[in-house]
Amino acid sequence: MSTSTPTGRAWQLAARPHGWPTPADFALVETPNPEPEPGQILVRNLFLSVDPYMRGRMNDVKSYAPPYELDRPMLGGAVGRVVASAADGVAVGDHVLHGLGWREYALVDAAQAAVVDPAQAPLPAYLGVLGMTGLTAYAGLLRAAEFTAGETVFVSGAAGAVGNQVGQIARLKGAARVIGSAGTDEKCALLVDEYGFDAAFNYKNGPVAAQLKDAAPDGIDVYFDNVGGEHLEAAISALRVHGRAALCGAISAYNDIEPAPGPRNLGLLVGRRITLRGFLVRDHQDLKPDFVRDVGGWLRDGKLRYRETVVTGIDQAVAAFLGMLRGENTGKTVVALPE
Ligand code: NAP
Ligand code: FER
């Protein structure tokens, strides 16, 4: 045990957003920090993850992740330092990855926390490039989409956390051609110049189908879908015989009030023997050793690059989340909580 700050701030959901969330849907509340019971640790969070799926948890809808409760601290990935421990095997001063984000201090069951080593990688990397979004890219491309060397890959949301890593893993695993789409010309330049994509286009500059046709005149073998909507329809039209799409997310629809129409070209799936496969990263934890070996090695060798969007201060967490939904981020978005 050790002494700790008596209170900490936590973000609660104050109202369920209708369409785009507004700051009034959230409340930053000061709460006492309880002492750990046997098996528990008290963690001073240092980096919080903000992720697109959190928007879904703000709705009162049964889904793969339960809805956030109103007037209760929200949940999410976080990395922090243990400040009090009543658990065997986790000591004060250890750093841990856990699921009680959106708050400064978290009382965590040690069984639900993983010790991480800040000497092996900077702490925010455990939320991004070496964490959940990185494994999503790895598992989605290699397992859900069954990518193999020599294929042409298109990824949407390509300058974001998952997307940039999909493109780089495809390149490093021998893709014939890697194409990305993103929402600004600067992001597209980054994809080509820094991440080694063969081509990139700004989906805000014109119809996706026409821009994809220019970038991949011979079609694509794999589509990694982070966006849904117009992107998915365009990609289906571009997929070749035996093409596959890994459906990772559909962020273009997360703030919709009415369901958007689906792709109008599903008839193509039959003749082209196309597979569309949804996946969740939680089902692919067995790939973690391969993922850490591959990505850790590429990072050490300078073959895989990454950027993070770091927003500082617990009071800025909602702004960081909304900014990420609007595309203000490049790479993984994290909130830093300096001590
Ligand atoms: P991210 O890409 O770092 O951030 C979200 C990005 O979405 C923004 O930067 C923005 O970039 C883009 N975006 C927002 N609205 C858009 C629209 N209408 N059309 C096209 N792009 C839009 O987030 P991430 O954490 O890496 O997540 C990417 C996707 O993967 C999301 O769909 C997420 O839900 C999904 N995901 C799924 C799993 C899983 O297990 N299945 C796990 C992690 C993430 P632009 O500037 O390019 O618009
Ligand atoms: C996301 C982040 C995480 C997402 C899904 C997950 C679809 C979750 C995955 C899991 O529980 O395995 O943005 O969007």
Banded pLDDT at 105 (limits 50, 70, 90): very high
Q: Given this chain, do its domains 7-127+308-336 and 132-282 carry the same CATH topology?
A: no
**Domain-by-domain residue ranges, the chain?**
7-127+308-336, 132-282
Q: In sequence order, which ranges of 58-194 are alpha helices (DSSP H)?
A: 132-139, 161-172, 185-193
Residue 332 and residue 127 in contact, taking contact as beta carbons nearer than 8 Å: yes
How many residues are recorded in the chain? 339
- State the Cα–Cα distance between residues 101 and 333, nearest whole angstrom: 13
Share of the chain above pLDDT 70, in %: 99
Ligand 1 atom nearest residue 309's Cα:
3
Model pLDDT for residues 113-139, shown as the tens digit of each residue: 999 999 999 999 999 999 999 999 999
pLDDT at 71: 98
Q: What is the pTM of this model?
A: 0.98
CATH number of 132-282: 3.40.50.720
Chain Cα centroid distance, residue 77: 10
Q: Residue 52 Cα, ligand 1 centroid: separation in angstroms?
A: 6
- Other CB atoms within 10 Å distance of the CB of residue 74: 23
Beta bridge partner(s), residue 179: 154, 199
Helix (H) or strand (E) holding 54: helix 53-57
CATH of 7-127+308-336, one of 3.40.718.10, 2.40.10.120, 3.90.180.10, 3.40.50.720: 3.90.180.10
Model pLDDT for residues 136-163, shown as the tens digit of each residue: 999 999 999 999 999 999 999 999 999 9
Q: Residue 334 Cα, ligand 1 centroid: separation in angstroms?
A: 14
Ligand 2 atom nearest residue 281's Cα:
12
Radius of gyration of the chain (CA): 21
Tokens linked to 174 = 């021998």
Average pLDDT over residues 60-65: 94
Nearest CA to ligand 2 atom 1: 53
